[in-house]
Structure 1
Amino acid sequence: MNTVPALYSCRLAHVRTTPRRYALTHRTYLWLVDPDHPPRLPLPLRPLARFDPRDHFTGDQPSIRAGLDAFLAARGVHLEGGRVVMLTHARVLGYVFNPLTLYWCHGPDGEPRCVVAEVHNTYGGRHCYLLSPHGTGTTGTEVGTDKEFYVSPFLPVDGRYRMRLPEPGPRLDLTVHLDRESTRTLTATVRGTRRAATVPALLRLALRHPWSTLAVSAAIRAHGVRLYLRGLPVQPRPDHRSPENAR
């Protein structure tokens, strides 16, 4: 069983293969926390890590765990008080952007029940995928789900994700593929090393990656500009909002 909170120093990589190949990497850090008991830092350090319910799910629940439970209950899943671990960016200096937050959900007996993948785009939208529990624990067997949410301005809302999401341990090793028309269009990976969530460790990571969540958002936009200048056509953004997008 994971001891939380913990920090992961990470390397994020995206490889796009069609209509032309483009690869990018970015270094940052992520938190692994218990949403029932998010970490509370000493007062001077609280601007470096805040976990706000408004940043997840519908944003109107009293806690992140309450938002997760409401999302699951609407889909007939009940954890009965079981343990959850959450991998996410914290709000840093008042700003947060979470391209992907993951929740590994267990029943009261500790057995894995499901994984929830919460995706945010740079337009302020959010959407959650409920993933099958089969193979999403420590083995990391791939699970699939249809793409239902506009993320990249260069890709329409179609295709199917294949995700390998083993629960983090000493190492973080996540993979997301997007397949469209029987072709692997995009592969994203997150690789990282676990560190105890001590004040010195957080300070080292915060100094190495200042304003980390803003840096992630800025990097996504910068790479988007590069792709646009290379001639990739922008796909129309759907004019609809799912319940997860409501704020």
Structure 2
Amino acid sequence: MSARVALPPLPALVDGTVTHTRRRPLVHRFTHATYQWLVDVDDLPRMPFPHSLFARFDARDHLDRGRLGGGLRGDVERFLAARGRVLGPDDRVVMLANARVLGHVFDPLTVFWCLRPTGEVVAVVFEVHNTYGERHAYLLDPDSAGETSVDKAFYVSPFNDVTGTYRVALTLGSERVTVGVHLDREGERVVDAVTTGVPTPATRHALAAAVRRHGLMTQRVSALIRLHGVRLWLRRLPVLPRPTHPEEAVR
């Protein structure tokens, strides 16, 4: 049975935390405050200046970069069609992502929920970015509880290879949005990463408050990822070679 969701008013700001736990071969944990945007790709936010400096979305930052037209929705439709799925004209594509902040964006994970008008989940596109400028998209079919699994196929961290299975748990609702990603390898849990927050209408006031609380969000994300990487390197966690990644993985 497919998952069904009840959307909050969109666009929304999802204000919460991201928690990451590396369990093997050494333990490393952190929790940081964060916020993301939840938007309908057919009705992206249009903020006046200067709020627009913190609320820009560009198809070039995702999937096939809008290469063949149709913006974000066009890329999602083509990605699904190449894998035997069809979006109807009344179906919605809802994206959880970071916006560009002063022209900069980094999205470790972007989630596209593809929804029937009834709220039934047609499919979920899970787009993962690494700090090397690469991206990979997974097609997910969550069950009625929002859970599913997929084999890992993309080099994200220099301290993890591309083996293992992701266990994914998704909650998209009017009161909470949660994305849990758990990496298992050879029967053991390796990494847990959970982002969760409360969606609120993305008004100018709410955006200004989020910026005051969190600062330059995407610049902060980029800096923190590198900071934790340096800490792991100083603890002598081995760096693994990065394989070549084909761009077809997002088309």
**TM-score where L is the length of structure 1:** 0.94
In the alignment, what sits opposite 1:69?
77
Select which of 166, 187, 195 maps to 2:171: 166
2:194 alignment partner, SS class: strand
2:172 alignment partner, SS class: coil
Alpha-carbon RMSD across the aligned residues, in angstroms, is 1.4
| CA-CA distance at 1:143 after TM superposition | 0.3
Does residue 175 (structure 1) correspond to residue 175 (structure 2)? The answer is no
In the alignment, what sits opposite 2:43?
37
Cα distance change on mapping 1:117 and 1:211 into 2, 3 Å:
same
| CA-CA distance at 1:107 after TM superposition | 2.9
1:220 alignment partner, SS class: helix
Structure 2 regions of 5+ residues with no counterpart? 1-5
Cα distance change on mapping 1:119 and 1:76 into 2, 3 Å:
same
Task: Give, in whole Å, the separation in 2 of the partners of 1:209 and 1:24.
Answer: 16
Does residue 211 (structure 1) correspond to residue 219 (structure 2)? The answer is no
Task: Give, in whole Å, the separation in 2 of the partners of 1:84 and 1:33.
Answer: 8
Q: Check the 8 A contact 1:146/1:161 in 2, yes or no.
A: yes
In the alignment, what sits opposite 2:132?
123
Structure 1 regions of 5+ residues with no counterpart? none
| CA-CA distance at 1:235 after TM superposition | 0.6
In the alignment, what sits opposite 1:228?
233
Select which of 60, 63, 81 maps to 1:57: 63
Does residue 151 (structure 1) correspond to residue 150 (structure 2)? The answer is no
Task: Give, in whole Å, the separation in 2 of the partners of 1:216 and 1:75.
Answer: 32
| CA-CA distance at 1:29 after TM superposition | 0.7
Cα distance change on mapping 1:245 and 1:235 into 2, 3 Å:
farther
Task: Give, in whole Å, the separation in 2 of the partners of 1:111 and 1:222.
Answer: 40
2:52 alignment partner, SS class: helix
Q: Check the 8 A contact 1:79/1:108 in 2, yes or no.
A: no
Task: Give, in whole Å, the separation in 2 of the partners of 1:203 and 1:108.
Answer: 32
Cα distance change on mapping 1:242 and 1:132 into 2, 3 Å:
same
**Larger RCO: 1 or 2 (CA < 8 Å, sep 6+):** 2
**TM-score where L is the length of structure 2:** 0.92
In the alignment, what sits opposite 2:23?
17
Q: Check the 8 A contact 2:137/2:250 in 1, yes or no.
A: no
1:166 alignment partner, SS class: strand
| Stretch moving more, 19-28 or 102-111 | 102-111
Q: 1:139-191: per-residue Cα shift (whole Å, max 9, x none)?
A: 32x20000000001000010000000122321122211000111100000112
Task: Give, in whole Å, the separation in 2 of the partners of 1:119 and 1:96.
Answer: 14
Letter in 2 for 1:154: F
In the alignment, what sits opposite 2:3?
none
Select which of 81, 87, 92 maps to 1:79: 87
| CA-CA distance at 1:245 after TM superposition | 6.2
